[in-house]
Amino acid sequence: MNFIDLFAGAGGLSEGFIRAGFKPMAHVESDKAACFTLNTRLAYHFLKENNKIERYIDYLKGNISRSDLYSIIPEHLLSTVINKSIGSDNKIIFSEIDRLAGNKKIDLIIGGPPCQAYSLVGRARDENSMQDDKRNYLYIQYNLFLKKYNPKIFIFENVPGLLSANNGHYFSNMKNLFRESGYNTVPFLLEANNFGVLQNRKRILIIGYKKELNISLPDFENFKTEISPSKVISIFSDLPKLQAGEGIDKYTTYTGKVNSWLKASYIRNSINIITQHVARPNTLQDKEIYHIVVEKWNTKGERLNYNDLPESLKTHKNRHSFFDRFKVVASDLPYSHTVVAHISKDGHYYIHPDIEQNRSITVREVARLQTFPDDFYFEGAKEGRNRTDAFKQIGNAVPPLMAQAIAKSLKTIL
């Protein structure tokens, strides 16, 4: 069954559907760095399927460049990643998808527009509550793809704030628009930890299906994973210990054994190579605060209130909100707090739980919180300069483990 991924980002949603046996006909994404990530992942799948995975391993080891990797991948495959903006470039995008699909039917459309316009935090920070943001209306563009390609089912993913944005008018208009295009819709409020993801991540999933299809959707809101419960320590247990500013982008190896969660979540596999396990450099002041944050949690099980810091460590003028701007990823809990794209700005909200390492977490550790496998490499717009781009892509992504469970259920129905 063939699908199109709109607003594809790094491809977390797509990764889950590929694992479940769906075939991507096109990924549409406006961010250049994310498009390189998508192409690199397509290269992985192609080389694995054609028993040439050693060439991908060469890339993860840094033996060949990105352009060298792409040179051994069929051009028609790389061209399925369309680096265009939905809305302004629709005519070009339609033409490219038509060329790629040929006579093949598009069975499924997946994706979700940027969520900042709907998020509660975004609305709180904007003086107009994001009402003037054009991203509020990208669902209208999404609907144009439904009308043109007429898939059996579509998946529209976003933040829970979508339901309340503009007093619910956007969501109401969205449902009416999809209904006019021939789709019944069912919204689900998903908890990522129900799918085995070790993260407190709530998302809205709108599933639309053609009115003539006589189907009954699973109760994704009460989904229970078959993966045995674990704690956040499982994410860190086998990785090399680092100090702030240390680490290697390509490549290093594991220092611990694979645990059951890493195996069941597809994070550890036959490629025993770690990439992008590099810690941000931190100032002496940052590290002093980090030490206080971790010690407070480890000894008392308490989060730090910013106002409780010694005066010498307080540099923010805002003392009336965001009291938890420094936060440890607690290893003894069943899931962490939510990964967001702001991690690309600083790591203060994602401090490593090991007080001896005294740093914020790495790209690889954040990727694991989102259940991206260790063989998944996040690209930058420029090769070799990828940390900020990688953090942003991971923070905006759908956890592949959750996407896979949804895809498997829908495949059974179809």
Q: What is the largest CA-CA distance in the chain?
A: 67
Write down the pLDDT at residue 110: 98
- Is pLDDT of 269 > 90? no
Rounded to whole angstroms, the Cα distance separating 213 from 206 reads: 17
CATH class of the domain defined by 2-223+399-413: alpha beta
Q: What's the angle, vertex CA 109, arms to CA 209 and CA 387, rounded to 5? A: 140
- Active-site residue among 8, 73, 97, 115? 115
User: Quick one: average pLDDT of 358-368?
Assistant: 97
- Is pLDDT of 370 > 80? yes
Please list, residue by residue across 320-329, b when 16 or more beta carbons sit within 10 angstroms of its beta carbon and e when fewer do: eeeeeebbbb
- Is pLDDT of 129 > 50? no
Write down the pLDDT at residue 121: 46
- Is pLDDT of 125 > 50? no
- Is pLDDT of 319 > 70? no
* Active site annotation includes 115: yes
- Is pLDDT of 326 > 80? yes
Domain residue ranges in the chain: 2-223+399-413, 233-395
Q: Give the pLDDT confidence of 132-164 residue by residue, as tens digits.
A: 445 568 899 999 999 999 999 999 999 988 888
pTM (two decimals): 0.93
Rounded to whole angstroms, the Cα distance separating 24 from 80 reads: 8
Higher pLDDT, 121 or 248: 248
Q: CATH assignment of 233-395, given 3.90.120, 2.60.40, 3.90.460, 1.10.4030?
A: 3.90.120
